[in-house]
Amino acid sequence: MRLVVATSCTVAVAWAAACAALAAGSGYGGSPPPVTTPTGFRAIIVVRTMGKNGGSVNGEEPAGPVEVVVPKRAYKKRFQVAITKGSAATVKKDLARSIAKYRVIADLGVEIKSGASSITTSKALTVIFTDLAISRGCVVAVYDSRTGKFTKVRATVTRGKVTIRIKTGESIAILAPPGK
């Protein structure tokens, strides 16, 4: 009897893990998908499949909560949005010269995929990151695979919150200027 119960429990646990991977869609089935990101930006925090009605993906990055808002009809078919953990050491090593002395407040990735392929959406997704350490003077940088550096991009920075709009997956860093 114990063997049957143990086998049933093992099958149930394996089935639960498989269902989560299947729900995420191809490209997220257990091992991180191959993407063009800096080292250390592949550990998935949360992934969600989006349809034509849009929606949001919410996750907790170690420095604070992050939300990705997907507008209606952002892409012609179903796709996945994943929030991934970043790597402060990688960001610091790969900062562009103009922001090299800035301090890393937070680092995260947002992957946008259809199956195993990275995609560009027809409408911008809004990424909102909240942390009390964010203040006036903070900047947002994204990884540029052509240069191998994080470079400053346009974003809305308010006390405690950063908002950035993206159409492709990005590795994102929120930075505080020296002395802050």
Set out the domains of the chain in order of their start, with CATH numbers.
2-176 (2.60.220.30)
Please tell me the distance from the alpha carbon of residue 134 to that of residue 175, in angstroms, as a whole number.
Answer: 8
**pLDDT for the residue 39:** 57
pLDDT given at position 33 = 42
What does the pLDDT profile of the chain (180 residues) look like in tens digits? 444 444 333 333 333 333 344 344 444 443 344 444 555 677 889 999 999 999 999 999 888 999 999 999 999 999 999 999 999 999 999 999 999 999 999 999 999 999 999 999 999 999 999 999 999 999 999 999 999 999 999 999 999 999 999 999 999 999 999 987
The per-residue pLDDT for 12 is: 38
Q: Which residues contact 140 (CB under 8 A, 6 or more apart)?
A: 152, 153, 155, 157, 162, 164, 172, 173, 174, 175
Q: Is the pTM of this model over 0.85?
A: no
pLDDT at 144: 93
**Residues 98 and 83: beta-carbon distance below 8 Å:** no
Q: What is the pLDDT of residue 38?
A: 56
> Cα angle at 138 between 94 and 57, to 5 degrees?
80
pLDDT of residue 40: 62
